[in-house]
Amino acid sequence: MEKPMRKQRQDEEASDEDSGPDERDLNAPPTEEKQLEMLYDPAADDADEKWVQKHLGADIKTDAVLNCPSCFTPLSYACQRHEKFQNQFRAIFVLNCLIDRSTSLIYNEETQEHLSAAPPGTPSDQVYFNVSCAHCGERVGVVDSEEIFVFYNVFPSR
């Protein structure tokens, strides 16, 4: 009679596996291995918020978090949306940005574009420089002589 008992236990174990996980498993926090498998970290948002508060201040008011449109690298956590041009933002505190000071630009009021070169003798308050993403090189905006960044090629999120 030993064989039928063993067969009965095997059948019970197989039916337990088929019925799915019990409620304990559903309520338990995922293991580190499971998180890596899911490519998800439930604590990431809290960790990011702590980093922003530590590095940029606890009472940040921002219209958006600006990211590179090509690689989604964060560029600014504190910005202000342009009143007239809804796809433009200005910021003072930036990260992951490279400034190209090899070519100066001026803003043309009529065409509302940055020209490729500022003529000699242009007042410094009218001169801009290209800004690119430090990770992928995508051009994301310009910076003026007072280090105010104007982003117009970014992916805003909130």
- CATH code of the domain made up of 57-157: 2.170.150
- Lowest mean per-residue pLDDT among 30-34, 39-43, 139-143: 39-43
Average pLDDT over residues 151-157: 91
Whether pLDDT at 29 is above 60 = yes
Report helix, strand or coil for 105.
strand
Tens-place pLDDT, residues 76-131: 988 889 888 888 999 988 999 999 998 888 876 666 665 667 777 777 777 889 99
Q: What is the pLDDT of residue 154?
A: 95
Q: What is the pLDDT of residue 5?
A: 54
Q: Return the domain boundaries, the chain.
A: 57-157
The pair of three-digit structure tokens given for residue 132, joined into one six-digit string: 């690119």
Classify residue 42 as exposed, middle or buried by CB count within 10 Å of its CB (0-12, 13-18, 19+): exposed
Whether pLDDT at 45 is above 90 = no
Distance between CA atoms of residues 126 and 112, nearest Å: 13
